[in-house]
């Protein structure tokens, strides 16, 4: 592993080295009792001879201690590494632009934080000891067999060598595409069934279509890919298991002894042969599943390494001048996503204390512009100045004191409602919290609950989409930040609540920017910015834009037919 993961692993080289040494010692000690028992049997000694029993007992104890300590060390390294990696990922995810998260989808971040980190468990906790067993135990056992009976040892090695050859053939490049297709279709199937579990209403509303059909199709694709993979390597796999099976090896060793002039071979020596051959075969048998686990771990490590190496948004160092007017100046802004332009050459200036609306058809770039103003993403070109300071020059803490964003999807933490509302001002008095909830048209509904502001979302109450949205707005209204950014603040509200809420938002001191698809909600804004296909095509107040015609007039007329105004 290279890069960030290599740096994370480097502090653990010493305990990993100790684990490898202890496992090697344990592997050797695991063979000593069988060798000594063969020695006892060959010389007709009894188990009462303490000179022989002591080495057996000591080797058994060393095996137990070495194995236990080796696994303890590797699991301790695994726990420490995964803990440090999760901390590093948490820091990294805070510095990535929001569009990266959108590109990952619902389960993308969970894959990195949960699945990929968990996959490293095999690589760190088990691979060092497994590899030592795979190398040390067969080599020591083979060396002993060669000294015991050279010709028989070479004969017994034939099925073992053939099994290793079959295993290497299964890992050949010509089968790689089948393995990758199996893994891709399995991952797609798991994602599809995860989506199926997350959308039970859609499944029942559209049976045999939509989410359910996608899950069924993904399952069929995986079955086909798995069947193709089995057909290609199934014979190799079955042959490997057969050649490494204890019955075949035992029969092979006995046949070799009888057929090569060793019919007078002592039974004790033959038993030692069989035990040593089994000791060689055991780690070889684990190569298949261990190889798949290690392959998954290596792929996970590569993905995590690539994520940790991704360019991140750099944090500024300056603090905002909160005494300066909270005006917003956008200059020649360009932004693209996945190679497609989203915003092009956007320039405007919003005076402090003004209310500005951003409108336009779906896909015009409204929400992207708002996210850029919140610095959840950085533009490809251009500059955003807030209060005369470049937005990217501000520290994160300073930016939070200056700007409060409210995104379309509201959220609630698993803590009392008053603490949920006070996230931006944890020291806020109850009266201020209640005032913010009242301004967000949420106070009466909270007080109607048995526990009031002490209700815990998800435990004591279940909040609707509209209530979550108003909770986020109440949280923002309590914030002391002079700039408030709102993305579709009334999308989940009924018309009466939406009118009341917008009226209270307009009474707020400070600079307010509202993204809205419904023009009637923002007709009294000081300035309306009209976006179309990523370009700023018009600006002005409601009357000016209606008189000018163009896109705004067309949107107004079409919404008038829909909403009846």
Q: Which tens digits make up the pLDDT trace of 521-543?
A: 888 889 999 999 999 999 999 99
105 Rama class: left (phi>0) / alpha (psi -120 to 50) / beta? left
Residue 204: per-residue pLDDT = 63
In this prediction, residue 128 carries a pLDDT of: 82
CB atoms within 10 A of CB 207: 10
pLDDT of residue 273: 78
- Give me the mean pLDDT over the 253-260 stretch: 74
Q: What is the pLDDT of residue 232?
A: 80
Cβ atoms of 324 and 388 closer than 8 Å: yes
**Strands 483-487, 403-406: pairing kind:** parallel
Between 176 and 29, the higher pLDDT residue: 29
**Residue bearing the bigger pLDDT, 2 or 153:** 153
- Could you tell me the pLDDT band of residue 263, with boundaries at 50, 70 and 90? low
pLDDT class of 197 with cuts at 50, 70, 90: low
pLDDT tens, position by position, 372-419: 999 988 999 999 999 889 999 998 888 888 998 988 777 888 899 999
Whether the full predicted model's pTM is greater than 0.85, yes or no, is no
What one-character-per-residue DSSP string does 261-302 give? T-TT--HHHHHHHHHHHHHHHHHHHTHHHHHHHHHHHHHHHH
Question: Cα separation of 92 and 312, whole Å?
Answer: 8
Is pLDDT larger for residue 287 or for residue 481? 481
Share of the chain above pLDDT 90, in %: 19
Q: What is the pLDDT of residue 161?
A: 83
- Give 325-342 pLDDT, tens digit per residue: 889 999 999 999 878 899
CA 287, 288, 290, 292 torsion-angle sign: positive
How far apart, in Å, are the Cα atoms of 18 and each of 68, 135, 429?
12, 17, 57
As a whole number, mean pLDDT of residues 467-495 equals 86
Over pLDDT 70: what percentage of the chain? 87
Quote the CA–CA distance of 171 and 157 in Å, as a whole number: 21
Does 368 score more than 50 pLDDT? yes
Q: At residue 434, does pLDDT exceed 90?
A: yes
CB atoms within 10 A of CB 218: 21
Check pLDDT > 50 for residue 192. yes
Q: What is the pLDDT of residue 1?
A: 45
C-alpha angle 247/249/252, rounded to 5°? 110
For residue 123, give the DSSP letter. Answer: I
Average pLDDT score, the chain? 82
Of 89-93, 194-198, 288-292, 348-352, which one has max mean pLDDT? 348-352
Q: What pLDDT is recorded for position 2?
A: 46
pLDDT at 296: 75
Is residue 45's pLDDT more than 60?
no
| Rg (alpha carbons) of the chain, rounded to whole number | 34
Tens of pLDDT along 102-153? 666 556 676 777 778 877 777 788 878 888 888 888 888 888 888 877 888 8
* Residue-wise pLDDT tens digits, 200-227: 666 666 665 667 777 778 888 888 888 8
User: What average pLDDT does this structure show over 40-65?
Assistant: 73
The residue that leads in pLDDT, 170 or 531, is: 531
If you ran DSSP here, which 8-state letter would residue 206 be given?
S
Decide if pLDDT at 314 tops 60. Answer: yes
């Amino acid at each position: 592993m290279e890069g960030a993961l290599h740096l994370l692993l480097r502090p653990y080289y010493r305990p990993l080295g100790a684990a490898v040494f202890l496992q090697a010692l344990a592997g050797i000690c695991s063979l000593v009792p069988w060798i000594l028992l063969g020695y006892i049997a060959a010389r007709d000694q009894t188990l009462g001879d303490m000179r022989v029993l002591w080495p057996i007992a000591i080797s058994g104890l060393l095996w137990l201690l070495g194995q236990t300590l080796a696994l303890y060390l590797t699991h301790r390294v695994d726990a420490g590494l995964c803990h440090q990696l999760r901390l590093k990922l948490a820091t990294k995810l805070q510095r990535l632009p929001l569009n990266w998260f959108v590109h990952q989808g619902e389960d993308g971040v969970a894959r990195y934080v949960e699945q990929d980190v968990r996959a490293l468990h095999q690589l760190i906790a088990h691979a060092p000891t497994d590899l030592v067993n795979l190398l040390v135990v067969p080599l020591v056992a083979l060396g002993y067999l060669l000294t015991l009976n050279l010709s028989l040892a070479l004969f017994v090695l034939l099925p073992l060598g053939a099994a290793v050859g079959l295993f290497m053939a299964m890992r050949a490049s010509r089968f790689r595409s089948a393995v990758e297709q199996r893994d891709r279709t399995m991952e797609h199937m798991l994602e599809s069934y995860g989506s199926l579990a997350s959308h039970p209403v859609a499944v029942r509303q559209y049976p045999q279509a939509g989410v359910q059909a996608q899950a069924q199709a993904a399952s069929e694709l995986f079955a086909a890919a798995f069947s193709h993979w089995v057909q290609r390597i199934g014979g190799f796999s079955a042959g490997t298991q057969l050649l490494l099976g204890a019955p075949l090896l035992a029969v092979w060793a006995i046949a070799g002894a009888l057929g090569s002039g060793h019919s007078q071979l002592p039974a004790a020596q033959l038993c030692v042969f069989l035990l040593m051959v089994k000791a060689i075969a055991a780690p070889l048998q684990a190569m298949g599943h261990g190889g798949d686990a290690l392959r998954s771990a290596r792929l996970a490590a590569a993905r995590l390494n690539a994520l940790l190496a991704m360019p991140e948004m750099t944090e500024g160092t300056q603090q905002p001048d909160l005494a300066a007017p909270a005006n917003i100046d956008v200059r020649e802004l360009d932004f693209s996503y996945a190679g497609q332009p989203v915003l092009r050459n956007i320039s405007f200036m919003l005076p402090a204390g003004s209310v500005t609306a951003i409108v336009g058809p779906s896909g015009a770039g409204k929400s992207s512009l708002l996210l850029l103003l919140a610095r959840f993403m950085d533009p490809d070109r251009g500059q955003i100045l807030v209060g005369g300071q470049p937005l990217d020059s501000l520290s994160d803490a300073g930016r939070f004191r200056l700007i409060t964003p409210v995104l379309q999807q509201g959220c609630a933490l698993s803590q009392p409602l008053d603490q949920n509302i006070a996230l931006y001002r944890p020291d806020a008095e109850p009266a201020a919290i209640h005032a913010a909830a009242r301004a967000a048209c949420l106070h009466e509904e909270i007080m109607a609950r048995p526990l009031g502001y002490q209700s815990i979302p998800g435990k004591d109450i279940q909040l609707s989409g509209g209530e979550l949205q108003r909770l986020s707005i109440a949280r923002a209204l309590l914030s002391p930040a002079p700039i408030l950014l709102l993305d579709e603040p009334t999308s989940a509200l009924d018309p009466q609540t939406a009118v009341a809420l917008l009226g209270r938002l307009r009474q707020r001191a400070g600079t307010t920017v509202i993204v809205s698809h419904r023009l009637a909600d923002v007709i009294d804004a000081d300035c309306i910015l009209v976006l179309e296909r990523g370009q700023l095509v018009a600006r002005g107040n409601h009357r000016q834009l209606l008189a000018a015609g163009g896109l705004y007039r067309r949107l107004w007329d079409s919404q008038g037919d829909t909403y009846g105004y």
